[in-house]
Amino acid sequence: MSRILAILASLIFFCVGVCGQASAAPSEVGSIREMRGTGEILREKQKREAQKNEPVFRTDTVRTFDKSRAKLLFIDDSLVMVGEKSTFRISEHFRDNKNISVFNLVDGVMNVIVGKSGFEVRTPTAVTAARGTSYLVWVDGNKTGLAVTEGKVDFSEVNAPPDRKMTIPAGRTSIVEVGKPPVVAVRTNPDLIKRYYEQTLEPDERWGPVLLKATGSGIAPPNAVNPPQARLMALRAAKVDAMRNLLEQTQGVTIISDTRIEDFVTKSDMIKARVDAFIKGAWVSEERELADGTMEVDMEIALGIGFRRMFLEQTEKR
């Protein structure tokens, strides 16, 4: 009898140990879709070669070496493309029922297209936070750089309180140094985009961001109650006119050599809706009031690789 009890006790301890290990094991959160050159994955203090189709798990650290780059796709449809000599760690991915992905970029450059979740990249000096957009973030010594290619990204010093963040729009670049707030965003230098696209993307993927600009005009209606109301109504009309002109430009963009946006907008209500959504992300770059009371508004929008990805995905389905 005592022998039977001892066997049962051993089985119970074995089951508890195995079940405990299974529950503690990290979950798969994505995979390496492309790997150029050599890289490695550090998982539970063990190194393994980074290869195409290799799964990645929460808490993994991914590293690329000289003349290498990798593209990773995560379960929330986020794409992360890392350049050479880059190191990043997957800190969180939907942990504790939080719909958010958190990455720690230790060194190098990341080119990201944010998927359906909240998305954060933390560096030694800064934090970026976004949803449904695309941007470049890089670490250069004691500085962190951010270049937004679509949408808007919150940018702050790593230890700053939530109310000290700066929102950076598409087409703009900012820098954070150790212990300092982000510098005022400036127009992104095309050479900077070219350099980091060459490090993170294949040659046929190095498209955009295309910066479109349009001007709209508006006049106040005759039934305006007072001059301030007249000015606001004229300004609103000018913005609507500028967005309409932006849409006309957007629908003429060539995505790949044999594809123009008109083709997909005409045949797909879904694509048309998503193009409209991109236009809603445009920003006002300048407002002018002319001598006759007419308002003019300049609006801009940057169409980056996320915009291109939308149409390429549609092309693959055809």
Half-sphere exposure of 142 (CA within 13 A, CB side): 4
Residues written for the chain: 318
What is the set of domains in the chain, with CATH numbers?
A: 24-204 (2.60.120.1440), 207-317 (3.30.1660)
Q: Which ranges of the chain would DSSP assign to H, the alpha helix?
A: 2-24, 190-200, 227-250, 261-267, 269-279, 305-317
d(CA 1, CA 286): 88
List strand residue ranges (DSSP E) for 65-180, in order.
69-74, 79-82, 87-93, 100-113, 118-122, 126-130, 134-140, 143-150, 152-157, 166-169, 172-177
- Global pTM? 0.72
> For position 10, what pLDDT does the model report?
52
d(CA 14, CA 10): 6
> For position 246, what pLDDT does the model report?
85
d(CA 172, CA 125): 19
d(CA 310, CA 315): 9
d(CA 187, CA 170): 9
Burial (CB < 10 A; 0-12, 13-18, 19+), residue 249, is middle
Q: What is the DSSP string of 177-231?
A: ETTSPPPPPEEPPHHHHHHHHHHHS-GGG----EEEEEEEEE---TT-SSHHHHH
d(CA 191, CA 107): 21
Question: Can you read off the two tokens belonging to residue 99?
Answer: 């719909």
Contact 35, 52 (CB under 8 A): yes
DSSP summary character for residue 26? P
Other C-beta atoms lying within 10 Å of the C-beta of residue 177: 15
d(CA 137, CA 111): 7
Burial (CB < 10 A; 0-12, 13-18, 19+), residue 25, is exposed
Contact 208, 308 (CB under 8 A): yes
Find the helix or strand (DSSP H, E) in which 37 lies. none
> For position 245, what pLDDT does the model report?
87
> For position 312, what pLDDT does the model report?
60
- Tens place of pLDDT for every residue, the chain, 318 residues? 555 545 444 544 444 444 444 444 568 899 999 999 999 999 988 999 999 999 999 889 999 999 999 999 998 888 999 999 999 999 876 655 567 889 999 999 999 998 878 899 999 999 999 887 889 999 998 999 999 988 889 999 999 887 889 999 888 999 999 889 999 999 899 899 999 999 999 887 887 777 788 999 999 888 888 888 888 999 999 998 998 888 877 776 666 555 666 665 656 666 666 676 667 778 888 999 998 889 999 998 877 777 777 666 655 555
